[in-house]
């Protein structure tokens, strides 16, 4: 049976294939990735895109949660100062109510109360990273002195609340507007302080005014729970997001990461095979019958 006398093209084609395999292994090793173009593994490439999108979203949630946490902490510590100030005001109110103070004493108490009122206004106008945190969604100073207002201060903010997503479908309210916190009908801090100051100055209805301040104090303390809850939720969510990020990173590695050990051993095998093929081809006898004709 006659065989093909010219086998060179076949051998060259085999050499080409082994060279291609070698190159692929080298690319995988140097990049550390099994999937360098979509055609290496189309399904994995498509899933990688989804994975990266999830990573980006998780990162967004994390950074949003961090920012909000700072905001909530500032608000909480502000309220802590408010509560302390109100406690002092209540003490002063009780003092003034026992009716043993002289005019000048009462004037001194009223002055101190006015100082506390001013401090409260300033606290209510706290800003964090350049924006007022108690003005609802408006961006102007929430409380301004206004002699025409019953409490002596006017609320210029609005009642808007913002929510921020810290997880998929997980929205957290991040602020309480001043109208709900400081000047709500159930407990208007400024009105109560104003009334107490007038009562002490006029030495009339001090007890009722002190009760008003106490009501306002209780109310604010109750509202403060909102911030504590928010911070707790954020902390818990951040832990969850961290573990999600770890999972996503490991999934990414599974999808497109190269198995270095396997690729390295495959490379060694391919190189060995190629060397063997090259030497075998080189060893082919370059003689035919012509060389033996006398």
Partner 1 sequence: MGGLSGSLSIAVSALQAEQAALDVTSNNVANANTPGYSRQRPDLVESNPVTLGPLTIGTGVTLQQVEGVRDPLLENRIQQETQQQGMLDTLVPSMQQVEVLFNQTSGGDIGTQISNFFSSVSQLSANPQNLALRTGVLTAAGNLANSFHTTANNLSQQRSNLDLQIVQGVGQINTLTTQIAQLNGQIGSLENLHQNASAFLDQRGQLINQLANLVDVAEIHSENGGLTLTMSNGTPLVAGNQSFALNTQPGISGLAHIFSSTGADITGSVNAGELAGWLQVRDQKIPALLSNLDTLASGLASGLNAANHAGFDLNGLPGTDLFTAPPANGQGYGSGIAVQITDPSLIAASSDGAPGSNGNVASLLAVADQAVANLNAPNVDQQETPSSAGPLNANDVLTVGEQTSVTAVGTTFTYTNAVTSGANPNQVTGATAVTPATVLASGDVLTLTRGGKTTIYTATAATTVANLITAINRGVAGVVAGTNFTVSGSDPQPNHYQAVLAGGNLQIVDLNGNNDLTAVQNTGTELGAFTTNAAATSTLQDLINAINGDATVGATAGLVGGKLVITDPQNRGDLAVTTTDTLLGAAVAGVPTAFTTPNTSSGQTPTDFYSNLVFGVGNDVAGAQANQTAAQLILNQLQDQRGSVSGVSLDEEASNLLLYQRAFDAAARLVTTVDEMMQAVINMKT
Nearer to partner 1, 87 or 139 (CB): 139
Cα separation, 226 vs 214, whole angstroms: 20
Distance of CA 281 to the CA centre of its chain: 64
b/e 170-205 (16+ beta carbons within 10 angstroms → b): eebebbbbbbbbbbbeebbbbbbbbbbbbbbbeeeb
Nearer to partner 1, 64 or 205 (CB): 64
Q: Which residues contact 237 (CB under 8 A, 6 or more apart)?
A: 61, 65, 166, 167, 170
Q: How far is the CB of 237 from partner 1 (least distance, A)?
A: 14
Binding of residue 279 to partner 1 (CB under 8 A): no
Q: Binding string, 118-157, against partner 1, x = CB under 8 A?
A: -----------xxxx--xxxxx------------------
**Which among 28, 29, 54 is positioned nearest to 41, based on CA atoms?**
28
Q: Which of 23, 30, 32, 43 binds partner 1 (CB under 8 A)?
A: 43
Q: Minimal CA–CA distance to 179: which of 147, 214, 153?
A: 153
Q: Is 6 in the site for partner 1 (CB under 8 A)?
A: yes
Q: Is 29 in the site for partner 1 (CB under 8 A)?
A: no
Nearer to partner 1, 48 or 200 (CB): 48
Q: Are 132 and 143 in contact (CB under 8 A)?
A: no
Nearer to partner 1 by Cβ, of 53 and 87: the residue is: 53
Query: Which residues in this chain contact partner 1 in the complex, by CB under 8 A?
Result: 1-7, 9-10, 13, 17, 31, 33, 36-43, 45-50, 52-53, 56-57, 59-61, 63-64, 67-68, 71, 129-132, 135-139, 158, 160, 162-165, 171, 174, 288-290, 292-293
């Amino acid at each position: 049976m006659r065989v093909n006398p010219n086998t060179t093209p076949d051998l060259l084609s085999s050499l080409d294939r082994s060279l291609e395999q070698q190159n692929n292994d080298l690319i995988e090793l140097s990049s550390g990735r099994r999937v360098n173009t979509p055609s290496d593994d189309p399904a994995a490439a498509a899933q990688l895109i989804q994975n990266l999108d999830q990573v980006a979203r998780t990162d967004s949630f994390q950074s949003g949660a961090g920012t909000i946490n700072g905001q909530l902490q500032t608000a909480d510590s502000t309220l802590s100062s408010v509560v302390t100030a109100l406690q002092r005001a209540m003490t002063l109110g009780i003092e003034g109510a026992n009716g043993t103070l002289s005019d000048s004493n009462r004037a001194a108490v009223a002055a101190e109360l006015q100082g506390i009122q001013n401090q409260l206004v300033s606290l209510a106008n706290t800003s964090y990273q350049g924006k007022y945190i108690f003005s609802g969604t408006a961006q102007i100073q929430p409380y301004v002195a206004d002699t025409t207002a019953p409490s002596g201060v006017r609320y210029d903010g609005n009642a808007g609340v913002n929510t921020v997503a810290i997880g998929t479908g997980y929205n957290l309210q991040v602020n309480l507007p001043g109208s709900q916190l400081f000047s709500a009908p159930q407990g208007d801090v400024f009105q109560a302080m104003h009334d107490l100051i007038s009562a002490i100055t006029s030495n009339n209805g001090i007890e009722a005014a002190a009760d008003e301040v106490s009501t306002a104090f209780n109310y604010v303390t109750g509202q403060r729970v909102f911030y504590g809850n928010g911070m707790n939720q954020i902390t818990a969510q951040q832990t969850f997001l961290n573990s999600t990020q770890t999972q996503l990173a490991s999934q990414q590695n599974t999808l497109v990461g190269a198995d270095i050990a396997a690729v390295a051993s495959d490379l060694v095998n391919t190189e060995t095979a190629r060397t063997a093929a090259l030497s075998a081809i080189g060893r082919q006898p370059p003689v035919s019958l012509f060389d033996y004709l006398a």
